[in-house]
Amino acid sequence: MALTQSEGLSVEQYLADEAVSEDRHEYFDGLIYAMTGGTSAHNTLALNLHMALRPHLKGSPCRIYVNDMRLRVDAANCYFYPDVVVTCEAVDAKTTTLESAKVIVEVLSPATSNYDQGKKFAVYRQLESLQEYVLIDSELKSVRVYRRAEQGDWIFHAYTNDETVRLASIDFSVSLTELYDDTGIEE
């Protein structure tokens, strides 16, 4: 992820530029970050999760989006493109920006790992709708889930090897074996 603007770009200018740009950019309170391409494993992990979630969510009020749906975090003046996002709010089919998310998933890469676990998670926690934040490692068979507790604290769960990841907010489970299928990543 590369910084492409030093500072001070307005939200309006960002959205106007993003509407005509061939590349995607995240907006962090006036700073613009170019979204770089992911690896085969990164892409496969996001798609495997999407394929497992899609039939589970069918018929529910929840929808799943992968990679190209922008998420607005108004409280922090930020716009992000999560790898996977689940929202259970009504969404206009023509929208390009979500304003709520129940589950956000980021597939970690060496270049974005610290950012996704640090600053980005701090911003995502400001979404009142967010119940679970999922970090999938793209180099090791490892998934971390942060779940919002009743008092607003975040509870951490780590999954490795062939364990089953549970997303309580949408009553969903997937084994790491299924999630990491076709990635070439071993235990």
> What pLDDT shows up at residue 38?
77
d(CA 121, CA 139): 20
| pLDDT on residue 187 | 65
Q: Which of 115, 42, 129 is nearest to 80 (CA)?
A: 115
Domains of the chain: 1-36 (no CATH), 38-179 (3.90.1570.10)
pLDDT in tens, 137-156: 999 999 999 999 988 899 99
Structure tokens at 95: 């929208």
Task: Check if the beta carbon of residue 61 is closer than 8 Å to that of residue 27.
Answer: no
pTM equals 0.92
Task: Determine the Cα–Cα distance for residues 40 and 19; give it in Å rounded to an integer.
Answer: 27
State the average pLDDT for the chain.
91
Per-residue pLDDT of 99-116, as tens digits, reads 999 999 999 988 888 888
